[in-house]
Amino acid sequence: MLALSTEVVGTLVFGGGALLGWAMATAARRQDHKTFVLARAPGLPIRSLSAHDDAWLRGVVHPYGSLLRCPWFGIDCAAFTYRRERKHTITEKDSDGKTRTRTEWRTEQSESEAVAFVLDDGQRIVVDLPAGRNEAMRSTGYDHEWSDVRHSAQVLEPGTEVSVLGVKRDDGTFGPLAEVPLLVTRQLREQRVKSSARSENWLLFFAMFFPFAGLTVGSALLTGAQDLPGWLPAAAIGLLVLVPQWWLLTHNRLVRLRQQVRATQQQIAIELAQRSTLVPNLIEVVKGYAAHEQELLAKLTAIRSGGDVDSRVRGEVAAVAATRSLLLLHERHPDLKSDALYRDLHDRLWAVEEKIAHARSMYNDVVSEWNTRLAQFPSSFVASVSGCKPAALFAAQCEEARPPRLA
């Protein structure tokens, strides 16, 4: 058997720590983008979805055509993973020549399948489950056929309440599109986003820990350290490698945050443009019912989507107040409820206001993190060297209770 020298082992440990640190940093960068995609999508009812809207839906699973039947357990479901295992007894000798016996379960059969299902929250939409990631399965536990054979499965049954992230596609189904995945989970939207953020934080921790540990242990092996005083210089060397690693991670995080600030600005601009398209149509509908609402109509007519970020921020408080008054106009003029065009435009404007409010909140969250990192030491040092500037919050005073949907 080939014996490796202490120097070779130390070099391998150091290289392994650096490689693992790079892998964790890469994974953290990808996880950060995944978290941003999860957080960017608002929670919406099915009735408010438009084509290409990415959103979180919450509803109950119903069959779409025929259900699957889970092997052995015979459970009707929209998805299952099944496994059949057999117990094996293994006898082996250890290095001292003693005979030892151990048992392990080995998989003899494994299969999984999924079909599309209908999600119901009062309205219905078909969810393309085979194209997505399913985290909503329920375990059946183990069922022993004999003492040495056991069966287990996970299933997604009809009647299960789930949250689904995805996009309404051109064919009317809900599924993955572009960078937005299809994700089915039992967690609420906020819980799933927090879970993703925690994963990112752990990846960042290990991106720092592995290079430190690798360099510390590798240096100790290369210098032949035998006791605590001998390990102290190795630990100091390990700490030194954290400086460039921390700088790189901090700089990359600032770059991603700046990109996210710009992306959320663009999302707000898109939603404001949709609002400015809908409002004139609603004005034409309500004129016949509320001709004397001249002040409100004048405020609505003044709503625009163009201009830079600062001008949009200044105009948003007035625009939000006017659109909310418009969404509640049927309370003063009940005849509007019987107008099909008004109801359709009302629902569409309500959905746009929900998206704007979510995009505004998302933007403010990203900007708050950006400004905090720019102000707090030591990340402020990296920010100043990189020429980063603070960003303005977007009309935080608009976050009031929004009008309910039209019944």
Inside any domain, residue 81: yes
pLDDT of 1? 42
In sequence order, the β-bridge partners of residue 63 are 117
Inside any domain, residue 29: no
Phi, psi of 180 (to 5 degrees): -90, 120
CA atoms of 141 and 152, how far apart (whole Å): 6
Give the DSSP per-residue string, 353-387: HHHHHHHHHHHHHHHHHHHHHHHSTTHHHHHHHHT
pLDDT of 2? 47
Q: CB–CB of 17/324 below 8 Å?
A: no
The last residue of a domain, from among 121, 147, 179: 179
> Is residue 145 pLDDT above 80, yes or no?
yes
Q: Mean pLDDT across the chain, nearest whole number?
A: 86
What does the pLDDT average to over 141-155? 95
Pairing verdict, β 138-146 and 149-156: antiparallel
pLDDT of 306? 53
What does the pLDDT average to over 33-43? 94
Q: For residue 253, count other CB atoms closer than 10 A to its CB.
A: 20
- Quote the DSSP letter at residue 131: G
pLDDT of 335? 82
The last residue of a domain, from among 157, 179, 201: 179
Inside any domain, residue 127: yes
Alpha carbon separation from 49 to 136, 192, 350 (Å, rounded): 23, 21, 11
- Quote the DSSP letter at residue 102: E
Number of domains observed in the structure of the chain: 2
Instruction: Domain of residue 355: give its range.
Output: 245-398
Assign 225 a pLDDT band (cuts: 50, 70, 90): low
pLDDT of 110? 96
> Tokens standing for 346?
């009302």
pLDDT of 229? 63
Inside any domain, residue 30: no
Q: Is 124 exposed, middle or buried (0-12, 13-18, 19+ CB in 10 A)?
A: middle
Question: In this structure, what is the dihedral angle of CA atoms 206, 134, 190, 327, given to the nearest 10 degrees?
Answer: 150
Query: Which CATH number covers residue 391?
Result: 1.20.1440.20
Q: Are residues 249 and 130 in the same domain?
A: no
**Tens digits of per-residue pLDDT, 301-316?**
777 655 555 566 656 7
Assign 101 a pLDDT band (cuts: 50, 70, 90): confident
Q: Is 127 exposed, middle or buried (0-12, 13-18, 19+ CB in 10 A)?
A: buried
The last residue of a domain, from among 179, 195, 211: 179
Least confident of 44-48, 202-206, 282-286: 282-286
Inside any domain, residue 226: no
Predicted TM-score (pTM) above 0.95: no
Alpha carbon separation from 271 to 33, 204, 305, 336, 337 (Å, rounded): 21, 33, 9, 25, 25
Q: Are residues 160 and 249 in the same domain?
A: no
Helix, strand and coil percent figures for the chain, each rounded to 5:
55, 20, 25
What does the pLDDT average to over 14-22? 88
